[in-house]
Amino acid sequence: MEIKEETTADEAQQFLPLVQADHLAESKLTSLKRTASEPKLEFSLACKDLVAPTRDRKLNTFVQIAVVHPGEQTSARYSSTEIVEGTRDPLFLTGVTFPRDYPIYEETKIKLTVYDVKDKSQDTVRTSIQTEHKEPRTDIGRSFLGCATFKVGELVKSKEQQLTLSLRSSDGGKTVGTIDVSLVKMGQTEDGESDHNAADVQGQKCALVYECTSPENNSCKDNLPLLNAVLKNPICKLYRFPSSDNKWMCVREQMSESTLSFHIPKELINLHIKEDMRRNQDLKELGELSPHWDNMHKTVIAHCDQMLTLYQDMLAELEKYTGSSFKSSCSKGEKTLEFVPVNLHLQRMYVHSPRLKDVLYDVITVGAPAAHFQGFKNGGLQKLLNKFESERRNTGYQCIYYSPENTAKAKEVLSNINHLQPLISSHTDLLLNSARQHLPDSLKNSLKTLSETTELFVHAFKDQLIRNALLALYMARPGCVLKNPTVPRISVEDSGDQPNQEHPHEIKRQDSIPHHSEYDEEEWDRVWTNVGKSLNCIIAMVDRLLEKENIPSVAKENESDPLPAECVASPLSGDWYEQLYPLTVTLKDCIGEVVTRARQSMSFVLLQELACSLPQCLMLTLRRDIVFSQALAGLVCGFIIKLHSSLHDQGFLQQLHTVGLIVQYEGLLSTYSEEIGMLEDMAVGISDLQKVIFKITEAKSNDLLPVVTGRRGHYVIEIKLPEKMFELLPQEIKEGKPLHVHPVLFNVGINEQQTLAERFGDTSLQESINQENVELLKEYYKLFTEKMPPDCLPHFQEQNDLKGLLENLHQNIQAKKRKNVEIMWLAAMICRKLNGIRFTCCKSAKDRTSMSVTLEQCSILRDEHQLHKDFFIRALDCMRREGCRIENVLKNVKCRKYAFNMIQLMAFPKYYRPPEGTYGKADT
């Protein structure tokens, strides 16, 4: 049967699971048996005795791999190896791997085509998409040498699990060499000398032995549902690199999208809508106001309703979205996808080395959290928030100035109202139910719960801000008169909680309505204390009822407090319910009165914040929500992946609930032009993650997606684990102990724009960010050393090493050296040693990010796994030319080229430059 080769219509999909025709299911194809967590098939390639087109030609070869599915006669291009230069016996470091979801069977045919590359910079066929297949012409940089085809079953069933195939010319007659295909089984160890000698870049040779074992043996099928819930569309690459002691190490690189890219934004927007609906309703229920305040009130409500509609429309658009599970770099400016992180992926590297324990290394790659659609003409969040706060302080008589702390306190009070009032109501119902059924123990337990909740309620309103806001609200009513007209307590200078001192005089000047009532400043105290008195009446009544039944009474917290006369005056009847019901009604009425006053006063505080600078205030909130949503989606993804990979590490789990996790963000943004605004957005978004709390619960269904609850500035992320995974957790985590994260950001610009910033612009933003965050990192390390035992870190890491690394990082930041990438290397190393979560970000997480993560991977292989020093650059080129990151570029811009040009790369640090032929003009 003649095999014709053709490329897929969209090469971006070449690594995704393929849906086969119905007839494949009927042909009873033989499936490959591999564990659920491993790729289906992996093999390595090497050629021997290749024949050059001309005698004096030195071959520069690579192998293109294509797949012929059963029942089909055309092949689909799948992957390629790297280019090996100057030899007729190339041994390729890049292997071939098929993910577990890829439809490959024993009957599947693999076609291997060997090409000779004459000019890497002109090798455009490999780095771009062809609309239809044509044999490569010699004038475009490469020429056809030979090809061979085999069935997967032949390789799997071969005695040595290796095939040696003859490479034949295009007419099928002439033999131009042989190609060895060796099956790679990560779970097994293979001993013996390799048939090939691996040559280094200088032509020196060393004998290599191939051995590898799998780190995935520690994985369990029970863990897979969690990963499958958050990860999609894996792309796998396989490499084998020589170590310094002439052994093979096997490296598997994997990149996956995350379903959380869209799930978390939708969860957050839904919470924003509910929070804003409550706020708008509270504002509408402020009551009658004087003309000045009433006009302002109506304007604020109109703008708030418009913004609520915007959020609702945004959620509706996301709910309708049916595209891929990641947002491409080309879509970063789309309005409907503003809340979605750009190009969020898990970048994972498994290392199977002969002498060291198998390890995996994870980095989350994502575009810098930023409001791209809103733009950066006026800067980013950091600059805009400072400007906004400065303008609020100078609003004059138009509105009252409350500090950001007091505004946050007002939101907290409103949140407590919404949380505690329904709780007290349900607890009183439980108390009455116990009384109706005459259950003493249940009655005592219900009373205890009611008392604790009511005490929390009373404590939540014990704040001077409420008093001052009630007075300010009274003055904003159509008619008011004060016992003390000067109202000194409203001055900010007298108390940090009060409005602007100048404002009361302006109010008096505006208010021409005759004063017909007096404001009683002590009324709030009476209303507030009535709640406690009502609770005491209930406690006293329960005690009397239990004493009458000769049951031990409820122990009161303070026996010396005299109870109100009305609590003890009424005679007792036999019906507990009849005795308690009127007292619970009184308690609810008292609480309702407190809630009404507190809600209105705190809503008045929020009115001031909104009225000071409409619509900038609401637009700033929107921008902050957008940036936070992008940052949170990445954080939740990183947290789940880290938890999944460390479930068997007791030291990590103890660290998780004792001191929390360090989350280290590596930024590659320049401090020039628009990227300054992006960096300002990113800095605020990452800082806002400090208040995020995680809780881990046992999943009650197959839905393992995380749940977000809370409000702005106070979010709780519920991570659901399957039963067998949940059982592995310490008791503290099982009981719902809050788990904290400590985000830090280090940024070093590396591109040509950073060169301009360093020579002609300003790098102070980058310097201040790095200085602030190294102090945060030191604080975490101090907390870590104080609360964690010394043996909780991996065995090869000592605290002295960490102390030295932190000092080295501090010195590098203070040095203010241009493009000091050592800052990023040190920060990443410290993060890994502290069991942290690693992030790498640039504008789109595509080009600069790819250079950084591949460099990090090869540095880890060199420093931790003894990668042969002469193969460092070659390994780096392999990963950048044929690894997961070039596939990421393809997914984003439909072209296999990093978006750099030669002029730009001249400004890049040496190790951040891609190999020749992998960069050029591309739409980002």
Q: What is the pLDDT of residues 529-580, one digit of tens each?
A: 899 899 999 999 998 888 887 776 654 444 444 445 555 545 565 688 998 9
Q: What is the pLDDT of residue 223?
A: 61
Q: Could you give the percent of the chain with pLDDT greater than 70?
A: 81
Looking at residues 509-521, what average pLDDT do you find? Answer: 44
* pLDDT higher than 60, residue 242: yes
pTM of the model: 0.86
Q: What is the pLDDT of residues 324-354, one digit of tens each?
A: 899 999 999 999 999 999 999 999 999 988 7
Q: What is the pLDDT of residues 482-496, one digit of tens each?
A: 544 433 333 333 344
* pLDDT higher than 90, residue 668: yes
Q: What is the pLDDT of residues 128-152, one digit of tens each?
A: 433 333 444 444 678 899 999 999 9
Q: How many CB atoms lie within 10 A of CB 559?
A: 6
Determine which one of 590, 841, 842, 884 is catalytic: 842
Looking at residues 474-478, what average pLDDT do you find? Answer: 89
Residue type, 78: Y
Distance CA 908, CA 920 (A): 15
User: Do 825 and 909 touch, CB atoms closer than 8 A?
Assistant: no
User: Do 469 and 602 touch, CB atoms closer than 8 A?
Assistant: yes
User: Do 413 and 602 touch, CB atoms closer than 8 A?
Assistant: yes
Told to judge if 842 belongs to the known catalytic residues of this protein, a careful annotator would answer yes
Could you tell me the pLDDT band of residue 17, with boundaries at 50, 70 and 90? very low
Choose between 260 and 12: higher pLDDT.
260
Q: Could you give the percent of the chain with pLDDT greater than 90?
A: 64
Q: What is the pLDDT of residues 244-289, one digit of tens each?
A: 888 889 999 999 999 999 999 999 999 999 999 999 999 999 999 9
* pLDDT higher than 80, residue 125: no
* pLDDT higher than 90, residue 883: yes
Distance CA 717, CA 695 (A): 6
Looking at residues 678-688, what average pLDDT do you find? Answer: 98
Those residues with Cβ within 8 angstroms of residue 374's Cβ, 6 or more apart along the chain or in another chain: 338, 619, 622, 623, 626
Of 898, 882, 917, which is closest to residue 117 (Cα–Cα)?
Answer: 917
Distance CA 841, CA 669 (A): 8
Of 258, 262, 279, which is closest to residue 414 (Cα–Cα)?
Answer: 279
Q: What is the pLDDT of residue 123?
A: 53
Looking at residues 237-249, what average pLDDT do you find? Answer: 91
User: Do 659 and 783 touch, CB atoms closer than 8 A?
Assistant: yes
Tell me which range, 4-18, 206-220, 386-400, 895-909, is most confidently predicted by mean pLDDT: 895-909
Query: CA angle at residue 573 from 572 to 579, to 5 degrees?
Result: 75
- 139 burial level (CB within 10 Å; 0-12, 13-18, 19+): exposed
Of 684, 872, 662, which is closest to residue 780 (Cα–Cα)?
Answer: 662
Q: What is the pLDDT of residues 581-637, one digit of tens each?
A: 999 999 999 999 999 999 999 999 999 989 888 888 999 999 999 999 999 999 999
Q: What is the largest CA-CA distance in the chain?
A: 117
Q: What is the pLDDT of residues 767-817, one digit of tens each?
A: 999 999 999 999 999 999 999 887 766 544 556 689 999 999 999 999 989
Choose between 559 and 383: higher pLDDT.
383
Distance CA 898, CA 907 (A): 15
Q: Is the dihedral of CA 560, 561, 567, 573 positive or negative?
A: negative
Distance CA 64, CA 90 (A): 14
Q: What is the pLDDT of residues 523-543, one digit of tens each?
A: 888 888 899 899 999 999 998
User: Do 57 and 64 touch, CB atoms closer than 8 A?
Assistant: no
Tell me which range, 354-358, 472-476, 668-672, is most confidently predicted by mean pLDDT: 668-672
